Amino acid sequence: MTDIAETPRKETLDKDLDKIVNVEEAANLVARGLVAPGFGLLFLALTAVFTAIYTSGEPGAVAIVAAAAIGAYLALNIGANDVANNVGPAVGAKAMTMAGALVIAAIFEAAGALIAGGDVVETISGGIVSPQSIADPGIFIRLMIAALVSSALWINLATLIGAPVSTTHSVVGGVLGATVAAAGFAAVNWPLVGSIALSWIVSPALGGLIAVVFLAFLKTTVIYQDDKIAAARRWVPLLIALMAGSFIAYLALKGGARVLPLSGPTIALSGLATFVVAWLAASRYVARRARGMENRNQSLRQLFNLPLIAAAALLSFAHGANDVSNAVGPVAAIVRAARGGVEPGAVAVPLWVMLIGAFGIALGLLLFGPRLIRMVGERITRLNPMRAFCVALSTALTVIVASQLGLPVSSTHIAIGAIFGVGFFREWYTANSRRRRAYLERKAARDRAARNASGTATARADPDNGDELVPVSREEANRRRLVRRAHVTTIVAAWVTTVPISALLAAAIFAAIGLF
């Protein structure tokens, strides 16, 4: 009787203990989710305290402290959103781990920002606004704070919905909206705004086209050759050398010019010299790595891993050098306005402001970057090292071509456009590949008796990888398209609405600041 009486109490105790354990696990899960926001808030608080101590007693100290904290918030969001385009393809291609990508990107982003991150930035965001139309320092400071807040909020929202957007366009939209609210439509340089809007189409289209050209070249000259390894020894060093030369020119255009200004011919010669040296080095590297490799596509991927890691590092360096000005430029302009008024021309960025931007981008990447890195590298379309290499090479070449044509392009739009291009080209190639059709004919002959009653069997293939073609239903094949349309729609919609939403937010924030 005693055993019978104690059994229910023991079962009840076990259930209560299980509930406690489940509550503890849930609490730990919630706590882990709050770690990153906690560190982000700590960074903002430390930035505000440091700025308050550094600028104590100066005129406009309150505005400078507020601008520094908001600039730090914008820098965190730039790191969380924009840096994914540099390392996402390499992570998606399994050329590097997420942890390795975060560390490399954080180091090179900070290095690019501090070494080549723009000693000067144009007052009022690169000529979008006429300085003469906003001569009052108080109005100017309100305008810049509104632009900072609106662009940071929009990039934060884009990160939450998984849409990589252009931080440059976000800041441009913020400045545009606040300027219209402050001085009317006449104060805006509309031709420049029109050229920026044109880049929404030019950037992704050009990036996708160049990536497709290189992927088609790889398929023709290497992937579908009978002796893949011999073909790789011939052509892969050439592609690696082209990437190296392109990146030297890319860095010179995007960030190096601020350290050592070079003329166009000098940049071209530097790129050519790098191409020759890299070709010789890559030939030895590929020959050594290819020795003893099996004649299959899986082996080819190993040849692109190291170049992909180098490309991710160089892209991060160039991005840090170029885009840190989006966070620190308005802050530096506010500092100068608070100290001495609004003047046309360029404004020097104090070192302490540059440090806020550099470390903010690196910290934002480490804390919040994985979400967008996975989106770019894995969820839009499936990437392998060869496709990711085409994306990286396309990004560098497109920036060079666009710079020579005088087109204001976004590296974010270029990289994502290249991923779109690679994915849609694979869809087209899969549907029109002779290899695929020949396989289906053979498979139909062998498995005719096993077909289901509907007779709608088709097949799914990945000719880039040399995967075996697996029969699936036509409905399933449509569902498994190589480019996920939902992500494409979300990203394109975010691109189109970046400037309008940032502008409307900035106008509303400018008006709200005026009320208080």
Q: What is the pLDDT of residues 286-339, one digit of tens each?
A: 999 888 888 888 888 889 999 999 999 988 888 888 778 788 888 888 888 887
Q: What is the largest CA-CA distance in the chain?
A: 98
* Amino acid present at 279: W
Distance CA 212, CA 220 (A): 12
Contact 366, 182 (CB under 8 A): no
Predicted confidence (pLDDT) at residue 38 exceeds the cutoff of 50: yes
The per-residue pLDDT for 13 is 57
pLDDT higher than threshold 50 for residue 467: no
pLDDT at 15 (0 to 100): 59
Q: State the average pLDDT over residues 465-480.
A: 48
Name residue, tokens 């002796």.
Answer: 227
Q: Provide the 8-state DSSP code for 350.
A: P
- pLDDT at residue number 458: 46
- What percent of the chain lies above the pLDDT cut of 70? 76
Give Cα 108 distance to the centre of its chain.
14
Q: Tell me which of 112-116, 446-450, 472-476 is least confident.
A: 472-476
- Are residues 200 and 409 in contact, defined by beta-carbon separation less than 8 angstroms? no
169 pLDDT above the threshold of 90: no
Give the range with max mean pLDDT: 105-109, 126-130, 465-469.
105-109
Residue 446 reports pLDDT greater than 60? yes
8 Å CB contact between 177 and 501: no
Pick the closest to residue 83 from 107, 62, 61, 67 (CA basis).
107
Q: Amino acid letter at 286?
A: V
Label residue 268 by pLDDT band (50, 70, 90): confident
* pLDDT of the residue at 379: 87
What pLDDT does 61 receive? Answer: 86
- CA dihedral over 394, 400, 403, 404, signed as positive or negative: negative
Question: pLDDT above 90 covers what percent of the chain?
Answer: 37
What is the DSSP secondary-structure string of 380-403? Answer: SB---HHHHHHHHHHHHHHHHHHH
Task: For residue 266, give every residue at least 6 positions away whose Cβ sits within 8 Å of its Cβ, in sequence order, or none.
Answer: none
Q: What is the reported pLDDT for 193?
A: 81
Taking only the tens place, the pLDDT of each residue in 284-295 is 999 998 888 888
Q: Minimal CA–CA distance to 114: which of 224, 10, 258?
A: 258
Residues 42-86 have pLDDT tens digits of 999 999 999 999 888 777 888 899 999 999 999 999 999 988 888
Could you tell me how far CA 472 lies from the centroid of its own chain? 34
Of 223 and 240, the structure prediction assigns the larger pLDDT to 240
Q: What is the pLDDT of residue 17?
A: 55
User: Above 60 in pLDDT, residue 436?
Assistant: no
Nearest one of 406, 382, 435 to 92, comparing CA atoms: 382
Eight-class DSSP state of 379: I
* All residues at 6 or more sequence positions from 12 whose CB lies less than 8 Å from its CB, including other chains: none
> Which tokens hold the place of 33?
């989710």
Dump pLDDT digits (tens) for 180-221: 998 888 888 888 788 777 877 888 999 999 999 999 999 889
What is the pLDDT at residue 135?
Answer: 72
Q: Is residue 159 within 8 Å of residue 98, measured between CB atoms?
A: no
Q: Are 104 and 317 a contacting pair, CB within 8 Å?
A: no
Question: How many CB atoms sit inside 10 A of residue 205's CB?
Answer: 16
pLDDT of residue 8: 52
Q: State the Cα–Cα distance between residues 338 and 345, nearest whole angstrom.
A: 16
The rounded mean pLDDT for the chain is 81
Map residue 120 onto helix, strand or coil.
strand
User: Rounded to the nearest 5 degrees, what angle is found at the Cα of 197, between the Cα atoms of 353 and 68?
Assistant: 15
Q: What secondary structure does DSSP assign to 278-325, as a single string?
A: HHHHHHHHHHHHHTT--SSHHHHHHTTHHHHHHHHHHHHHHHHHHHHH
3-state secondary structure of 188: strand
Q: Tell which residue, 248, 240, 253, has the closest CA to residue 272.
A: 248
Nearest-CA neighbor of 444 among 457, 433, 434? 457
DSSP structure string for 425-489: HHHHHHHH-HHHHHHHHHHHHHHGGG--TT--EEEE--TTTTPPPEEEEHHHHHHT-SB-HHHHH
Cα–Cα distance for residue pair 350/334, rounded to 1 Å? 12
The token pair that represents 406 in the structure block: 């005088």
The model's confidence at residue 461, banded by pLDDT at 50, 70 and 90, is: very low
